[in-house]
Amino acid sequence: MTPTMTAMSVLPSAPGAMTPRSLEGHASAYLVGIGGTGMCGAAELLCARGLEVAGSDRAPSPRTDRLARLGVRIDAGEGTFPIPPGTTLVVASAAVPATHPQLVEARRRGLAVWKYAELLGALMEGRIGICVAGCHGKTTTSSLVATTLWRAGRDPSFVIGGEVKDLKTSARAGAGACFVAEACEYDRSFHRLRPTIAVVTNVDVDHLDYYRDLEEIRESFREFARLLPAKGLLLVHEDHAATFLRDPSLLARLETFGTSDGADWQAVDARFDRAAQGMRFTLVRRGSPLGELSIPLSGLHNVHNATGAAAALLCAGCSFEEVARGLAAFGGVGRRLEPIADVGGVAVLDDYGHHPTEIAAVIRAVRTRFEGRRLLLVFQPHQASRTHALLAEFGEVLAEADEVWLPPIYWARDSEEDRRRVSSEDVALRVCLRGGRAVTFADLDAVVRHAAASVRPGDVVVTMGAGNVDEVARGLASRLR
């Protein structure tokens, strides 16, 4: 029997799973790094549960401003702030080191100290957890699931690593049965969640500052899948199903999605609808056509994301009509091929992609959507360890753009040794060796000035990276207007 929201009860964790945290007994929480996308969303959900919430971050931001309007106390700045009296729970994002003064203080005072992922797991308690994991595509896929549930009147809760344009937020506290969460593999964070339905979009080489190699990454994903109870469901892209198929510890049913005849959930006849500026395909369930779906997104990778989302939604009890309406009305996610401007025949878009697989998918999508137009790619490498480990791959995929403009690497969790051994100049050299054209710049402002002087009608400029390269997109848009 296919599990549905009406048939599925809230299921216990799988045997052997990490003991999940509980918010029972906590009335006040302090979040270190509260301005992060996930932390900000978790803070909103804590407020909705009636907890007194405060937190710190290095600088104010639109996200912390939003929390302040909800009554959250924000300690912003580089100084050390005392944790308020009466706090019982302190939560830190994965980017906060254990030596942070506030965490040291919390441990000295005997307070409960959790990681963000532990809080997310606690917030899912008592709900049907729909967790979307994968090295690429999880933000878009989880957003498709959450917004479709919302449009169908299912009142879901969700925490997602990007702004969901339909609701202008990255988190929502709903009263419905489902809790949708983006399940991050870094730091094995997703091992702390409570999935009932899990979608795995892919398993790829990434976060090599944390994982040893691809096999260790695969084992981490298997451990995540083992959290699913026997009546749960694991939906995996067909290209990555082998990671899970022979795992004797997996209790949940495994189903695949993709475009081949062997997939349990198959996207057939996927094509770009130029009039609608989106993708269309027919969803087939084990040989039986269910109907046509459309999404206002470009690229085959988004067809895969939508297929996984549709399968999860149907298994969670949505009708096909609800799924079709929800996907067709999707408003997108911030920094996922987000349109920034279209001025004087120049289109400017911004994307969060920072891995060669993501860059390749975006370039294919842009080539299809803007056929025949010159593609100028501003790529800000993210993290020295990733750049060094995947240097050849970056060179290969970036060479597919007509020109590549490279600001310095955005450092994140990088040691001085990491920073010394690789630079944007190394990336540019690899692009040129693959027959592409690449130029490096001293900073983001220099890229904006060059772009403004170089673009011409018909060009498509895409800024890409997980750092602050979106400032180039907005700066260029401002100069073009």
pLDDT digits (tens, 9 = 90+) for 252-310: 999 999 999 999 999 999 999 999 999 999 999 999 999 999 999 999 999 999 999 99
DSSP 401-465: SSEEEE---B-SS--HHHHHT--HHHHHHHHHHTT--EEE-SSHHHHHHHHHHH--TT-EEEEE-
Residue closest to 21 by CA, chosen among 110, 92, 117: 117
CATH number at residue 104: 3.40.50.720
Q: Report pLDDT for 94.
A: 83
| Domain's final residue, options 328, 352, 377 | 328
In a domain, 22, yes or no: no
Is 451 a domain residue? yes
Assess whether pLDDT exceeds 90 at residue 417: yes
Helix axes 116-123, 37-48, angle to 10 degrees: 40
For residues 170 and 296, membership in a common domain is answered with yes
pTM of the model: 0.92
Q: How many CA atoms lie within 13 A of 386 on its CB side?
A: 23
Q: Is position 42 within any domain?
A: yes
Predicted local confidence at residue 206, as pLDDT: 94
Model confidence band, residue 37 (pLDDT cutoffs 50, 70, 90): confident
Please state the domain count of the chain: 3
Q: At 173, which CATH number?
A: 3.40.1190.10
- Tell me the mean pLDDT in the region 403-422: 95
CA atoms of 79 and 101, how far apart (whole Å): 10
- Is 200 inside a domain boundary? yes
- How far is the CA of 129 from the CAs of 98, 260, 292, in angstroms? 29, 28, 27
pLDDT above 90 covers a percentage of the chain that reads 91
Point out the domain boundary residue: 328, 361, 382: 328
What's the sign of the alpha-carbon dihedral 124, 130, 135, 138?
A: negative
Q: Do 130 and 83 reside in the same domain of the chain?
A: no
On whether both 187 and 303 belong to a single domain, the answer is yes
Check whether 3 has a pLDDT greater than 60.
Answer: no
Same domain? For 382 and 462 the reply is yes
Tens digits of residue pLDDT in 171-181:
999 999 999 99
Looking at residue 1, its pLDDT comes to: 34
Residue-wise pLDDT for 53-103, tens only, equals 999 999 999 999 999 999 999 999 987 899 999 999 999 988 899 999 999
CA distance 312 to 403: 39
Do both 435 and 323 map to the same domain? Answer: no
Q: How far apart are CA 284 and CA 152, in angstroms?
A: 22
Domain range holding 419?
Answer: 338-480
Note whether 32 and 154 are same-domain residues: no
Do 174 and 273 belong together in one domain? yes
Q: How confident is the model at residue 2 (pLDDT cuts 50, 70, 90)?
A: very low
Same domain as 130, residue 80: no
Amino acid identity, position 438 = A
Number of Cα atoms under 13 Å in the Cβ half of residue 123: 37
Edge-to-edge strands, sheet with 73-76: 73-76, 52-57, 28-32, 89-92, 112-115
Grade residue 18 by pLDDT with cuts at 50, 70 and 90. Answer: low
Place 384 in a pLDDT band, splitting at 50, 70 and 90.
very high
For residue 158, give the amino acid letter.
F
Rounded to whole angstroms, how far apart are CA atoms 257 and 242?
13
Which tens digit of pLDDT belongs to each residue from 329-346? 999 999 999 999 999 999
CA angle 27, 102, 49 (to 5 degrees): 20
Confidence at 34, pLDDT banded by 50, 70, 90: very high
Give the Cα separation of 347 and 457 in Å (integer): 9
Q: What is the pLDDT of residue 78?
A: 82
Averaged pLDDT of the chain: 94
Determine the pLDDT at residue 80: 84
Same-domain check for residues 308 and 161: yes
One domain, residues 313 and 169: yes
Model confidence at 12: pLDDT above 50: no
pLDDT in tens, 39-61: 999 999 999 999 999 999 999 99
Pair (163, 301) in one structural domain: yes
Residue 66 token pair: 């939003």
